[in-house]
Every structure is written in structure tokens, then in C-alpha cells.
Structure 1
Amino acid sequence: MPRLVDHDVRRKQITDAVRRVIVGGGLESVTFQTVAVEAEMSIRLVQYYFGSKREFLLATHRSVMEDAGARFMRRWTTMGQDAAPRAMIHAILAELLPLDAQRREETIVLGSFGWAAVTGQAITAEETFAAPRTLVTVIANQIARLGRAEARAQRDAALITAAIGGLAQGLLQGYDTAPSALDLIDHLLDCVLGVTTQSSADQSDLL
């Protein structure tokens, strides 16, 4: 009998290969040939699953978002639904920092997609907006638990989201260290929420 092929596994092999190509040489280095070589499969097989470069780029972007979302859910499950809003927000922001190999890869890949959207390479900016919009909504919902009006919560969440993006890039470039980045998250939340909690030095489980 012919061996059954798990198409989802094949697609993941391809999107994982796209990530590695981007990390190694930027988005401009992504072609059917470089992805096929990295995935250790034929160009025709890559084309079978993704008919265009744009298709596998968007699939790769979605895969990064899904991995990050799954990580958020695991952290939230561990914390429990009754965790304080600030603790929940801090956990989300820490997960967005490149503090390990996986998150470093995700930061590089998402940064490449962001620049590609600005310069009009294969994808549009609108196609990358779903993730930050969702993040703003999630953070705003936690801020609203503190009694903030909806409009204020949305603006505060948008500010926090913008700040964490810059902090992640700074950490990636070596401008900040992991401890200083976590301290800056605490300071950011102090400024926006007006609430003080334990320092990030006491939150080693976030690393």
C-alpha cells in the first residue's frame, strides 16, 4: 500500500523552512528554490502545496501567530482566569520578547514581514494587521478589568503594543538585556496603569 501523506505536516515543514530562510538571509532571500532546499523537498512539491510565493509567505506569517497564540494560552492556563490584570498583561508582553531561540526567530520573521509590508514586497500592510489588532484587544480587555473606560483602555493598549514592539527589536539588536527589558515592561505598566507590583527580578519564571 502507498504511504499516506499528512498534508498538514508537509505544509508545516515548508513554513518552518521559510522561517529559517528568513532568519538566515531576510525576506528577500525567500524563493521556491531556497525554501525547497531548506525543507529538503523538490520545488514542485513546494509549489503543489503553495502555488505562489505570496501564499507560503502568508501561511508562514499565520504559523508564527498561531505558535505565539498557543504559547499565550498555555501561560494563561497556568496562571488561571483569576490572575490580576497586570500580571496577565505582563505575561503577554514577556512572551513577545526574544528571550529564547523560538521567540527570537519569531521576532526576526515578524520584523521582516513588517518591513516587507512597508516596502510592498509580496504582501500588504493590511495583511499583517490582524495580529497587532488582536493583541490590542486582548490587552484592552485586561485593562478594562481595572475599571478603565473602553475608549481609554483601547488607547492604553495601543500604546503598550507599540512600545513592546520597539522593546523587542531593541533586545534583538543587543541594545537591551533580558533583565533590563523586563524591568522596562514593569516601568511601562507603572506609567500606563498607575499600579506597582513585584519587580521583574522576582518574575524569573517569565524568562
Structure 2
Amino acid sequence: MPRLVDHELRRRQITGAVRRLIVRGGLDAVTFQSVAAEAGFSVSLVQYYCGTKRDLLLATHRSVMENVGTRFARRWAALGEDILPREAVRAVLTELLPLDEQRREETIVLGAFGTGSVTGQGITTEETLTASRLLVSIVADQLGRAHHLQPAVHRIDLIAELITASIAGIAQGLIQGHGTAQLAEELVDQQLDLVLGPRDENPSESAIDDTTP
């Protein structure tokens, strides 16, 4: 009998090879030949699953976002329904920091796609921004649940944009060797202090109000 082929496994092996190549050499390192060699497949097999280089890159981007989304969903479910706004936002932000090898790889790969979307690598900004917009929405929603916000906070949507932009910068800084994991987490806490007030000085900060200020 002919052996059954696990097509989903083949796709994961191919996109995994692309991810490793991007980590080592950026998007320019990705060719059908290099991917085939990295995955241990023939060029024709890689082309069968991903017809063009653009298809190959987009499939890889989707695979990274699916991995991030699955991990994030597990983390979010573990927080429970009674999670306080500060803890919820902190969990979201620290999950995005490259504090282990998997998240380090994801940060490098997504950073390469972000750069590639503005330097003519065959993908567009719109195809890489969905996750960022969702993140801003989640942060804004959680800040909106907080009973206490600092007086300088007039628009939660802008604060959410600022926080998510800064976490991307912190993550890239860690990849480049700037600072430590401890510093990164301290920077997250500092941002939350500026928005919600110092936690140890404001125990009532955790109170939840279902209406957005």
C-alpha cells in the first residue's frame, strides 16, 4: 500500500525551515533552493506546497501567528475570569517578550516580516498588521476595565497604542542585546505604573469598573 502523506506536517516542516533561515539571514536568505536544503526536501516538493515565494512567506507568517495565538490563548485561559486589569495587561505584554528561544525566534521572524513589508519583499503592511491591531484592542479593553487611571490618561486608545508600540521596541532591544529580561519586565511594570498608578501605593487600582472612562 502507498504510504499516506501528512500534508499538514509537510507544511509545518517547510515553514519551520523558512523560520530558521530567516533567523539566520533574514528574508533575503529564503529561496526555494535554500528552503528545500534546510527542510531536506526537493525544490519541486516545496513548490508543490507553496507555489510562489510570496506564498511561501505568507504561509510562514501565518504559521508564526498561529503559534503565538495558540500560546496566547492558553495563557489567557489560565488567567481566569476574575483576572484584574493590571495583571491581564502585564500577562499580555510579557508574553510578547523574547524571554525564551521560541519567543526569540518569533520576534526575529516577525521583525523581518515587518521590515520586509516596507522594503518590497513581496508582502504588504496590511498582511502583517492584523495581530498588532488585535493587541491594541485587547490592551485598550483591559485598561477600560480599570477603575483607577492616572489623571494624565485622557484617551485609552492612544495609551494602548503607545504601550504596544513600546513593547515591540523592548522586544527588539532584547534581541539586539540591549538590557536583560529583568529590565524588560521592569519596563513593563513602569509603563503600568504610569498609566494605573504604582500598585503598592494604590491597592484600590485593582477594582473593576465595566464602563470605560
> What TM-score do you get using the length of structure 1 for normalisation?
0.90
* TM-aligned CA deviation for residue 141 of structure 1: 1.3
Cα shift at 1:131: 1.0
Which one of 168, 176, 179 corresponds to residue 176 of structure 1? 179
Superimposed CA distance per residue, residues 18-43 of structure 1 (whole angstroms, 9 cap, x where no aligned partner): 00000111111100011111111111
Greater alpha carbon shift after TM alignment, 62-71 vs 45-54: 62-71
Q: Provide the C-alpha distance between the structure 2 equivalents of 1:126 and 1:197, rounded to a whole number of angstroms.
A: 41
C-alpha separation in 1, matches of 2:73 and 2:113: 24
SS at match of 1:175: coil
Residue 197 (structure 1) shift: 5.5
Matched with 1:205 is: none
**Cα deviation code 1:112-169 (max 9, x no counterpart):** 11111111211111111111011111111111111589x9222211111100000001
Separation of aligned partners in 1, 2:66 and 2:81: 21
Partner of 1:40: 40
Q: Quote the offset at 1:192 in angstroms.
A: 2.3
Tell me the alpha carbon deviations over residues 79-110 of structure 1, each in whole angstroms, 9 at most, x when there is no partner.
Answer: 21211111111111111111110000001001
Aligned match of 1:161: 164
RMSD of aligned residue pairs (Cα, Å): 1.8
Matches within 5 A, 1:12-161: 12-147=12-147, 152-161=155-164
Q: What is the distance in 1 between the residues matched to 2:104 and 2:144?
A: 30
Q: Which has the higher contact order (CA 8 A, sep 6+)?
A: 2
* Larger Rg over CA atoms: 2
Q: Which residue identity lines up with residue 190 of structure 1 in the other structure?
A: D
Identity %: 60
Give the match's secondary structure for 2:155.
Answer: helix
Number of the residue aligned with 1:203: none
Between the aligned partners of 1:10 and 1:3, the Cα distance in structure 2 is 14
Secondary structure at the aligned position of 1:165 is classed as helix
CA–CA separation in structure 1 for the residues paired with 2:76 and 2:48: 38
Q: Which amino acid aligns with 2:42?
A: S
Paired amino acid for 2:112: S
Matched residue SS, 1:112? helix
Q: Which runs of 5+ in 1 are unaligned?
A: 199-207
How many Å separate the matches in 2 of 1:175 and 1:15? 29
- Contact kept, 8 Å, 2:148 with 2:196, in 1: the verdict is no
Provide closer, same or farther for how the CA distance between residues 197 and 52 of structure 1 changes in structure 2, counting only shifts above 3 A: farther
**Do 2:93 and 2:167's aligned partners in 1 also have CA atoms closer than 8 Å?**
yes
- Deviation of 1:11 after TM superposition, in Å, equals 0.8
Cα 1:28/1:160, change in 2 over 3 Å: same
CA distance in 1, matches of 2:174, 2:56: 28
